[in-house]
Chains A and B, each alone.
Chain A
Amino acid sequence: MGLPNANGDLSTEVEVDAFRRLFPLHFYEKHLLESISPDARPLGRARETTIALGAVASANGSALAKIGSTTMLAAIKMKVMTPSLETPDEGCIVIDFHMPPICSPIVRPGGPAEAAPVVAKQLSDTILSSGMINLKELSLVSGKAAWMAYLDIYCLDADGALFDTALLSAVAAFSHLEIPVVSLNDDGKIVLSEEQGLSDREPVNKEKRKINLSSVPFSLTCVLHKNYILADPTAEEESIMDTILTVVLDSSSQLVSLHKPGGTVLAYTSAIQDCIALTRQRVKELQKILEEAISGMEVD
């Protein structure tokens, strides 16, 4: 194949694709030295993000979010249930995250992927603790009926930054959510008007059809390597550089979560401050993208 060059590696003798497979860490370090990532992004910039609302017609609220190649589909279905005795005037949100085998060669059928329950728990902690949704808004009749929102997020393509894309799709689905009409049926129970053919009856919740979202959380995942910070890693980058730091900020710049599960690189105060600064910028970008998507829907 040739002799090593002055740097001691085979970079001038081997084709780029082969070098990328044989010496992945050296390949990335050559790019990080020039403050750029292999897909020509500057280190602090995230990949191209798009949101499409209303992707699932049969769900009450849905969204398809893409960050680079990572694609997530979120759908919300609302059902009426009796609230628990401890919280008679609060509804409930159940969040589930699925990684079907279509998303990645590492995921095989027969058991959930390793990453799936972890991302699911992180997502439900973040959404419930951020206070984005006031559960009292999901109440219909105090003590008798309240909404249970089932949020299902399906990963269609897993190419790094799974949590970011999942959170974005969940937030977009909630902003698209339209609460269905309910009315009292003959047995005195509150039921969905369409299901039971009661469309001619007086609806119980005529006025309130959209959920109010306050302090929406947005996140950015960064990878730390020596003293470089690479924002929004792809799956290849995440597997080579194993120190991943996810910062979740809400729209008033409060820290909702700072998640760094181990990793060979220790995070010092300066690195954390840089990551938080990158996340602040990203929050503004994402807010703009979400607003454009929502206003696009309303025009239609």
Chain B
Amino acid sequence: MEVDREDGRSQNQLRPLACSRNILHRAHGSASWSQGDTKVLAAVYGPKAGTKKNENPEKACIEVIWKPKTGQIGKPEKEYEMILKRTLESICILTVNPNTTTSIIVQVVNDDGALLPSAINAACMALVDAGIPMKHLAVAICCCVAKSGYVILDPTKLEEQKMKAFAYLVFPNSVRSVLPEGSLRVEGEPIENGIITSVTHGIMSVADYFYCLERGRAASVKLSDFLRRNLQQQSTDSSKAG
């Protein structure tokens, strides 16, 4: 089914991605991530000594501060902070530095759709830049379901508002391994098919949701490749400079 999107993209096409790391000098790690016009800056400070009051001191703790582009901090920001915190807690290896706090500050520079996935991607790259040990990366994507049932990826803000429902999905990054393919499967599915985080908005049928999952997985493979190239390139650049 051919779908006309305003910026001429096809159904499964993502907007141009750009990521640069180590842009802030005082932060231990920082990254800026942009998907089309949506741009998010993330900075990581840590690990710092001590954990917050109700947190388990036997593990490292993650604290997220979300700063919107304009306006005061309200309930939507608190919800984003909670989702980001729990997503990043599940990818970081929390037992390496117990009784420490790592703070991640997310600053929204421009919001043109798919804001939470961009923030998750930016925070993940900032954690890599800071050298925080992680199990795998978190690759986030947004899928929208239209009234007629087709699914588009990476919507702009206008598209998000027009669509019947959308889902933010976060997957682990794709695995490139020397082990034979069969050995890395869990319950007969490869590890990168599992969902770390899913947040949906609006009504969709259960079948639509599973269709979004499929599309999301395919897109996460493309995003993983982009991340891999980006990380390898910048690490060779810094070794030349050093």
Contact = CB atoms under 8 A, between A and B. Distances in A.
Contact of B79 (A117, A257, A260, A270): A117
A262 B196 contact: yes
Nearest to A262: B86
A268 B194 contact: yes
B231 interface: no
B186 interface: yes
Contact of B78 (A117, A258, A269): A117
A263 B189 contact: no
B75 A121 contact: yes
A249 B130 CA distance: 41
* SS of A interface (majority): mixed
A117 B75 contact: yes
A260 B203 contact: no
Contact of A276 (B79, B199, B206): B206
B75 A269 contact: no
B210 A121 contact: no
Q: Counting chain A CB atoms within 10 Å of each CB, which of B83, B85, B200, B204 scores highest?
A: B200
Contacts of B79: 117-118, 121-122
Interface in B3-32: none
A117 B80 CA distance: 11
Contacts of B86: 242, 261-263
A106 interface: yes
Contacts, number: 103
A118 B194 contact: no
B193 A268 contact: yes
Interface residues of B, number: 39
Interface stretch (B87-95, B174-182, B219-227): B87-95
B113 interface: no
Nearest to A256: B203
A267 B186 CA distance: 11
Q: Counting chain B CB atoms within 10 Å of each CB, which of A118, A121, A255, A270 scores highest?
A: A255
Contact of A262 (B89, B210, B213): B89
Nearest to B210: A269
A266 B196 contact: yes
Nearest to B202: A129
B54 A106 contact: yes
Given A255-B206, A268-B189, A262 B88 contact: yes
26 contacts: A117-B75, A121-B75, A121-B76, A243-B90, A254-B205, A255-B205, A256-B200, A257-B201, A258-B200, A258-B209, A259-B200, A260-B195, A260-B198, A261-B83, A261-B197, A262-B86, A262-B197, A263-B197, A264-B90, A267-B194, A267-B195, A268-B189, A269-B189, A269-B193, A272-B210, A272-B213
